[in-house]
A and B are shown apart, each in its own frame.
Chain A
Amino acid sequence: MAQITLAIPSKGRLKEQCEAWLASRGLLVRQTGGERGYSATLVGFEDVQIRLASAIEIGKALLAGEIEMGITGEDIVQEAASDVASRIRIEARLGFGRADVVVAVPNGWIDVETMADLGEVATDMRRQTGRRFRIATKFTRLTAQFMRNHHVGDYRIIDSAGATEGAPAAGIAEAIVDITTSGATLEANALKVLEDGLILKSEACLMRSKLADWNDETRAIAAKFLNRLALA
């Protein structure tokens, strides 16, 4: 029997929200192998196989065409590849997992409100110190593209695996690019978002991989699935 694979986050709040979103459309996720198992079924919809994986792994699998469908954050796929539109189609924005990817600087930089200001400060810093302005982030690709679009050249990315918002206070970087939902964490770390510093307004999305091995049967299953979700 033909099946398609739908990957959903394997743990945390995003998993709960995905399951709740599917349940609200009458589709119940039942994990096989218990709570710690990594596969599941959709009750009453056997031709959709559920795979539980990390949000990053789901993004990679969608971009590589290893799975037909998946739910993950838009920021994750946009960061992972430059040609997302040719590899993935967003079927639905799900209204949860919201996170803005933003440029933030210390709140004491009262002379910096815009990306143009940031570009000037970066140039000043390189002229005065001989070194480039440092931006801590895990979003290296999105940051580089955004800086290029805003003609900011004199900067360098410091790869940050976590606690990025602490980088300026720790002296690791002058500014950061990170995700924020309410802005409270940035504020608690004495940072402010630049007026035009919104790089991406992200949320959890149901995505279809354009590179998956689609055939008439799997396309029909996907159409039926989307129809059931009232998305067709």
Chain B
Amino acid sequence: MPLDHDQVTQAAWAALKARGAHDVALPTLLPAALVLELAGEDLRPRLYFASGPQGDELCLRADLTIPAALHYCQIATHDHQEVAWACEGKVFRAPKPGEDRPPEFTQIGLERFGDADTIAADVGVFVAAWEACQAAGLNKLHVRLCDGGLLPQIIAKAALRAPWGEALSEVANHASALRRVLDQACGNGPKREITALERKIVELDQARARSTVAEVLALAQFSLPGARQLSHVADRLSARARRALAPPLDGVTAQTLARLVAMRSQDTLEASLDELVALAHKLGVDLSVWREAWAERLKLIRQEAPIALDHAHFETLSPEAFDYYDGMAFDFSVDASFARPVATGGRYDTLVGVISGGRIQARAVGCVVRPARFGRY
């Protein structure tokens, strides 16, 4: 007799907990400003807001990762304190226009903090998500793997000509900004005329450029309130002018970077890793350590979940990845479109530091499994 939806959810939940995680009760009401700061304004139309008695703006949680990281910041007594939590509960997201689903639904997840062996932790979370889906009867899943730390690593180490090396490094972990600067670097971006002021200060050293901009602002009686200071404006004017005047990257470098950014494996995963190593090599970057780490991940995943990678591919930039994923990330989907993944996970080593304002640091990796997308049973 087929299992009903609750039974399927319970089966998936039991599979996640079997990975040695402890149940944890996470906060339902969160500071709205924190959630929007971390997740971005695109989430705002999906959030449900509430006011606290002191007028503080709160929202109902829209996922389990942010509440888990927030809870960790509250209980951790030292950096990288090890915990593994199994999280289960309702999350609240308003449907998009035309979307036919309830505004609250159950998610289950596993969040690991502080593990010293990051590869073992990555594999543990991946396999836990896989086993949860298997327990729910989802046997033929498409898997998308990516690595949020790869492009920043390559661009930081590549011998790219000024000013493009610095410009690309600054945006390497922002997908849309990276594409924009890469377009400029390849000579494909919109051309712009530089102003007389820009032409002047691009020839000056940083201190003289700043004092020239200060004079211009004083003469015009313009003001600079808030967090953006004279140095930011002057340095950006100089950088923008340098980019406008600089010749684009040579064809091979531009083509190699474009292929890296758009990389989506067509062959085996190992062939994709080899291709990435070869592309990085063209830029003077040795990815052999990175490749070994990924080879180890894939080997361990196959040992624990032999069929999990049968329909897997690798992409350098995940279109849907959580902003803070800065290492391995994955999605499982019932079809190749990945429009509604049933499970998503990844490494987010900087999130705890951001939430705690630097008070606590913790390596972290986690996943969410979405029983509401399992389909009808």
Interface residue ranges, A against B (CB under 8 Å): 82-83, 106-111, 116, 119-121, 123-132, 140-141, 144, 147-148, 151, 153-157, 159, 168-171, 173-174, 190
B36 engages A171 (CB within 8 Å): no
User: How many angstroms from the CA of A83 to the CA of B197 in the assembled complex?
Assistant: 45
Q: Besides A141-B45, A190-B223, 18 other CB < 8 A contacts? A: A82-B45, A106-B223, A106-B226, A108-B225, A116-B180, A119-B177, A120-B177, A123-B177, A124-B232, A124-B236, A127-B171, A129-B227, A140-B44, A144-B45, A156-B33, A156-B37, A157-B44, A171-B225
B222 engages A107 (CB within 8 Å): yes
A156 engages B225 (CB within 8 Å): no
B344-371: CB near A (< 8 Å → 1, else 0) gives 0000000000100000000000000000
A111 engages B97 (CB within 8 Å): no
How many residues of B are in contact with the other chain, CB < 8 A? 35
Number of A-B contacts (CB under 8 A): 105
For A123, A173, A174, which residue has the most chain B Cβ atoms within 10 angstroms? A123
B228 is an interface residue with CB less than 8 A from chain A? yes
A-B contacts, 25 of them at CB < 8 A, read A82-B45, A82-B97, A106-B225, A107-B220, A108-B217, A108-B224, A109-B228, A110-B216, A111-B233, A116-B180, A120-B180, A120-B236, A121-B228, A124-B170, A129-B227, A131-B37, A144-B41, A144-B42, A151-B180, A156-B36, A156-B41, A157-B36, A157-B41, A171-B225, A171-B226
For A82, A109, A141, A147, which residue has the most chain B Cβ atoms within 10 angstroms? A109
User: What residues of A have a CB within 8 angstroms of the CB of B33 in the complex?
Assistant: 156
Partner of B228, one of A132, A144, A148, A174: A174
User: What residues of A have a CB within 8 angstroms of the CB of B44 in the complex?
Assistant: 140, 144, 157
Q: What 5 A-B pairs have minimum CB-CB distances, sorted nearest first? A: A108-B224, A108-B222, A190-B223, A123-B177, A111-B237
B176 is an interface residue with CB less than 8 A from chain A? yes
B224 engages A106 (CB within 8 Å): yes
User: How many angstroms from the CA of A190 to the CA of B225 in the assembled complex?
Assistant: 9
User: What residues of B have a CB within 8 angstroms of the CB of A168 in the complex?
Assistant: 225-226
User: What residues of B have a CB within 8 angstroms of the CB of A83 in the complex?
Assistant: 97
- B101-142 contacts to A, CB under 8 A, are none
> In whole Å, how far is A104's beta carbon from the nearest beta carbon of chain B?
12
B240 engages A111 (CB within 8 Å): yes
- B219-248 contacts to A, CB under 8 A, are 220, 222-228, 232-233, 236-237, 240
Given contacts A141-B45, A174-B228, contact A110 B197 (CB under 8 A): yes
User: What residues of B have a CB within 8 angstroms of the CB of A82 in the complex?
Assistant: 45, 97
User: What residues of B have a CB within 8 angstroms of the CB of A154 in the complex?
Assistant: 40, 174, 177
A151 engages B176 (CB within 8 Å): yes
A190 engages B222 (CB within 8 Å): yes
B171 engages A123 (CB within 8 Å): yes
Interface residue ranges, B against A (CB under 8 Å): 33, 36-37, 40-42, 44-45, 57, 97, 170-171, 174, 176-177, 180, 190, 197, 213, 216-217, 220, 222-228, 232-233, 236-237, 240, 354
User: What residues of A have a CB within 8 angstroms of the CB of B227 in the complex?
Assistant: 125, 129, 171, 174
Given contacts A140-B44, A144-B42, A171-B226, contact A109 B177 (CB under 8 A): no
User: What residues of A have a CB within 8 angstroms of the CB of B36 in the complex?
Assistant: 132, 156-157
User: What residues of B have a CB within 8 angstroms of the CB of A173 in the complex?
Assistant: 226
Partner of B226, one of A110, A111, A120, A174: A174
For A111, A151, A154, A174, which residue has the most chain B Cβ atoms within 10 angstroms? A111
User: What residues of B have a CB within 8 angstroms of the CB of A110 in the complex?
Assistant: 197, 213, 216-217, 222, 233, 237
A123 engages B174 (CB within 8 Å): yes
User: How many angstroms from the CA of A151 to the CA of B190 in the assembled complex?
Assistant: 15
> In whole Å, how far is A173's beta carbon from the nearest beta carbon of chain B?
8
Given contacts A82-B97, A110-B197, contact A127 B45 (CB under 8 A): no
> In whole Å, how far is B160's beta carbon from the nearest beta carbon of chain A?
18
